[in-house]
Amino acid sequence: MRRNSALNNGTADASGVTPGDEPPTSTPEGGARQSAIAEEQAFLDMATARRDRLTEHLEVELSSEALDALEHARQRMLRQQYEELRRAGEGLVFGRLDGLDGTVRHVGRIGLRDDVEDSEPLLVDWRAPAARPFYTATAVDPQGQARRRHVRTEGSTVVGVDDEPLDGSMTAELVGEGALLAALDQRRTGVMSTAISTLQREQDDIIRARATGPLVVQGGPGTGKTVVALHRVAYLLFTYRKMADQAVLVLGPSPRFLQYIGQVLPALGETAVVSATCDTLLADIPVGREESRVLAEIKGRALWQPALESYVASLLPRPRELKLRWEGDFYVIDAATVAQALASAVQGRPYHRARAAFAEQLHHLLADAVAEQRETLMNEMEEGFEDILARVDKGMEQDHRPLRTSTGSDVDGLLSEEEIEHLRTRIAENATIARFVEAWWPTLDAETLLGDLLSDRALLARMAPQLSPEEITAVSAEPAPWASSDIPLLDALADLLGDADAPQPQGEFVADHARRQRGWVYGHVVVDEAQELSEMQWQMVLRRCPSRSITAVGDIDQAEAAHRHTSWAQAVQAAFGDRWTAAELTICYRTPREVMDLTEPVLKRAGSHNAPPRAVRSSGIAPWQLTVTPAELVDAAAQAVRELQQRWHGGMVGVIAPADRVAELRAVLSDVPVLTATQSKGLEWDATLLIDPQGIAAEPRGWNGLYVALTRCTQELGQLILTP
């Protein structure tokens, strides 16, 4: 084996910043530093005491018997406030703004007021408008501020402060650069943490953007797009309180990714959030089969939506004369009346809801037919009875007897409105009538329907004429169980079939209700790694958020999915048309310059016309390569991982390899994650060991995958290069 470049561990200082790259923020020195820390410690102690008093007060109120008498909305608000206070212990205070007018505002995880009514906030919530200059003020645009201070804490102790004068005496490219770089140089733990103390201006602009339509955020590796997406959720739920009644859906690329980000929103006090992947949106239908990229691309096309709509429409019953039996008699509803009722019932409704609407009309039609027939029979009986009485009267006249007189009590044969309504109820509850409706307009199942469609080539050709004969053959040859690309088709069918209307419960458990209901309508949807979604998966998103209040973040240059989109315009055209807003993150915070310098030629090989994001930090560690033979690979990987773990003790090491080598490496490297490039999306480690980069590049869309793999580390990148 041969090492191609030396590992350099000695060029970075303790903060991870190379000489000459010291941030332009200032740290008070000596006595001034201790005085500043003591000042911030005193404030933190005061804020913590206030938080503790409020928490105890709410705890008592929530446990009291009086709580039961409060309305539901009030109970929910109190519980939400309690949870926010309870979770805000770590990092309660992290910033301070000194205004040009002498005002001082502290910024923190939550907002706090002291005991005095109508007083200024003791602590400003990071999401409040008053806190925005903490993220956006610069020396050029100080926004009324003279200084910004970042307060670094460990538990309940202030351990450091970083000051940024905003009077033009110092200029910094980054907001709170010292605090940001310190956070970036911390060891990875395998769990994403919040970043409310180190958000940058371009990130904050996106976080606080209006939620009036689709916002598509392009961000290269390490630009913080996932951080932005999650903090945007927290900001929106804080700013638009009604959004919490509908919950927010966060769609990620994999269960591993969702586990990685799982603590961010709860740490920010947000619970009205459902996390899922596109594969898990239909909770009762598991993905049980891998399929080829060719099939995945075919099934992901937008053409399936109109094809499935036509398919379900073809299953609606056709108008004809209906003959129903009720209490021994037959009643006929003519074809014209049935056609009118059918058209009225369908009117844009899903299949099963249209069926329910038609059944209700049929109950009325049958009740009316029964009432009319009874009236006719009674009239006929009365006419016959009157003939008999007329002959009797004539005989009595001849016999000189008194004639019969009308008493006004003759039966008219009409049913009262109450009697007709009672008849309709009996018809609606009648099992025989229900069986008749079921036979004529049967209940359908999405899985059965899709199986029937995909297995019938002639039917497929009629419903999806855009598919070629070869594509139809490929699609119809696939057996069960379902693959990932089948889930959007099943979701579309389930939506077209519909189910009974279900009310959307509100309250602190709104996320639990939303998670269980396929048809839940969310207040907002966040899509991470959005470049991977197929056109049919975008339809799944739109069904869950018809208001199109959507934030999609991703990197089009990291796309590895089977679809052929190479731009955001192509990726979202079928879902959004031209009605979407673009935003971009341009600065790479995570991946060091030494690694990002490797990415430009990879991007070009991937067919991208974009420049990689600009890295603003250096780890001082040059990427290294080790050349090995296939026979040496496993042992060399194990040795390299051991060395990386020693250098990054307390942090995380990850291994990325071609798909066909993952299994053998996992068997040996059981204490570190061994993933494909696709599986590593959105994750980060202190050090990455990249196995056989040429093998990754040779996979479908492999240069995009290699771009992903190269950019997962925060400090060190090592590569094992295979030689014959």
**Which residues does the annotation place in the binding site?**
219-226
Q: What is the CA radius of gyration of the chain?
A: 35
Are 300 and 537 within 8 A, CB to CB? yes
Give Cβ neighbours of residue 406 (< 8 Å, ≥ 6 apart): none
The answer to whether the bond into 481 is cis (omega within 30° of 0) is: yes
State the SS3 of 363-431: HHHHHHHHHHHHHHHHHHHHHHHHHHHHHHHHHHHHCCCCCCCCCCCCCCCCCCHHHHHHHHHHHHCCH
Q: Where are the alpha helices (DSSP H) in 272-350?
A: 293-299, 304-314, 335-346
Bridge-based pairing of strands 674-675 and 587-588 is: unpaired
Q: Give the bridge partners for 553, in sequence order.
A: 217, 528
Give Cβ neighbours of residue 623 (< 8 Å, ≥ 6 apart): 5, 594, 595, 598, 716, 717, 718, 719
DSSP, collapsed to helix, strand or coil, labels residue 156 as: coil
C-alpha–C-alpha distance, residues 309 and 495, integer Å: 10
Q: What is the dihedral of CA 633, 637, 639, 645, to 10 degrees?
A: 180
Q: For residue 602, which of 623, 584, 627, 587 has the smallest C-alpha distance?
A: 623
Distances (CA, A) of 108 to 47, 111, 116, 222, 598: 10, 7, 20, 25, 38
Are 138 and 170 within 8 A, CB to CB? no
Which segments are annotated as binding site for ATP?
219-226
C-alpha–C-alpha distance, residues 628 and 661, integer Å: 15
Are 234 and 268 within 8 A, CB to CB? yes
Q: For residue 270, which of 242, 248, 246 has the smallest C-alpha distance?
A: 248
Q: Give the bridge partners for 685, in sequence order.
A: 713
Print burial letters for 528-562: b (CB count within 10 Å at least 16), e (below 16). bbbbbbbbbbbbbbbbbbeebbbbbbbbbbbbbbb
Which tokens is 472 given? 């139809």
Using N-to-C axis directions, what is the helix angle for 30-63 and 72-87, rounded to 10°?
150
C-alpha–C-alpha distance, residues 235 and 238, integer Å: 5
Q: What is the dihedral of CA 613, 610, 597, 4, to 10 degrees?
A: 140
Q: For residue 716, which of 589, 616, 590, 623 has the smallest C-alpha distance?
A: 623
Q: Which amino acid is at 383?
A: E
C-alpha–C-alpha distance, residues 514 and 507, integer Å: 11
End-to-end CA distance of the chain: 12
C-alpha–C-alpha distance, residues 490 and 705, integer Å: 29
Bridge-based pairing of strands 93-99 and 145-154 is: antiparallel
